[in-house]
Amino acid sequence: MSISKVLLTIPATVALCLALYFVGTLLVLSLPSLVTGKLFLYSKTLPSLYGSIIISVIAVLIAFVFSVSLVVLVNEFVPRWLGETLSLLIDTLAAFPTVIFGIWGLLVFAPYFQKYVEVPLYLYLGFLPPFSYMPTQPQSALLTGVVLGLMVTPYAAAIIREAYRVLPVELRETVLALGGGKWELVKICLSGIKDAIIGGLTLSFGKAIGETAAVALLIGGRAWFCPLTAPCEAIPSLIVSEIELAMIKPELRSIISGLALLLFVVGAIVLAVAKTLVKRWYI
């Protein structure tokens, strides 16, 4: 055993211990509420889980439309310099501080969204259950989903673009030589990177469901099985708003740890799925 191996084992062990400390603490702390079922009996757990899933699904749907069209635009329809500039913008925004999306969504975007999207939805489609809540306040599940979708769009677009870029050039040449136009080309290219698109969107789902700051600002903080245009609650924002209470209510500790564990498990599943799909291009 060489000295360098011994020396390098120390930081690796520290990193391993950090990870084990994290996972172990979550498991041990949440065990009581998991065993007794208190986690799910707690009145806010299931509504927040519902809220989290609703907003993440809206976010992924929006990110899907936006990111695929951005990738196609950047690669097929604009001159090279513009494509490069847009790619740079996408890359920069992919790791942008999320709380900024939150403050923009709440102070700038929400009033317009309420006036031009939510109110018309209520007025004209109010007979449908998802839009049956009168949007009297700017915060809502729909707003959160839309802003989150905008937030994860650059992230998804960056992953999909990487896949699009490494498609073999022969594929393009074949399609064009057979007399196909851009339509056929895009169709074939997109079906060739189907895995990367699904994987990128899965990762976006993970990012959206774990997002805290933007969600806590936009969601409104009312835990119930709400229509889309009503204020709602999500797991990360529930954790942030309830954790101070744990100081005086010890029984909440295990429940909050359980909520965090739930998020962590969802994140781990998302990563496991995404890794099989985007293995070649991501991490």
183 forms part of the interface with other proteins (CB under 8 A): yes
8 forms part of the interface with other proteins (CB under 8 A): yes
For other proteins (CB under 8 A), the number of binding residues is 89
243 forms part of the interface with other proteins (CB under 8 A): yes
Q: Select 84 or 128, whichever has its Cβ closest to other proteins.
A: 84
Q: Kindly tell me the sign of the dihedral angle through the C-alpha atoms of 148, 152, 154, 157.
A: negative
d(CA 165, CA 71): 10
Q: Select 98 or 229, whichever has its Cβ closest to other proteins.
A: 98
What character string, x for contact with other proteins (CB under 8 A) and - otherwise, covers 9-48? xxxxxxxx-xxxxxx-xx--x-------------------
Q: Which of 32, 40, 61, 91 binds other proteins (CB under 8 A)?
A: 91
H-type helices in the chain, by residue range?
A: 3-36, 38-41, 45-72, 80-94, 98-104, 110-113, 119-125, 141-165, 169-177, 182-192, 194-210, 213-218, 235-242, 251-277
Q: Select 227 or 274, whichever has its Cβ closest to other proteins.
A: 274
93 forms part of the interface with other proteins (CB under 8 A): yes
Please work out, in degrees rounded to the nearest 5, the angle formed at the alpha carbon of residue 159 by the alpha carbons of 206 and 209. 10
Among 154, 161, 153, 146, which residue's Cα sits nearest to residue 73?
Answer: 161
- Residues numbered 97 to 136 that lie near other proteins (CB under 8 A) are 97-104, 106-109
55 forms part of the interface with other proteins (CB under 8 A): no
Residue 44 Cβ, how far from other proteins at the closest point, in Å? 16
Stretch that binds other proteins, among 116-124, 126-134, 166-174, 207-215 (CB under 8 A): 207-215
What character string, x for contact with other proteins (CB under 8 A) and - otherwise, covers 252-271? -x--xx--xx-xx-xxx-xx
51 forms part of the interface with other proteins (CB under 8 A): no
**Treating both helix axes as pointing N-terminal to C-terminal, what angle do 194-210 and 141-165 enclose, rounded to 10 degrees?**
140
DSSP class of residue 97 equals -
Please work out, in degrees rounded to the nearest 5, the angle formed at the alpha carbon of residue 233 by the alpha carbons of 231 and 238. 145
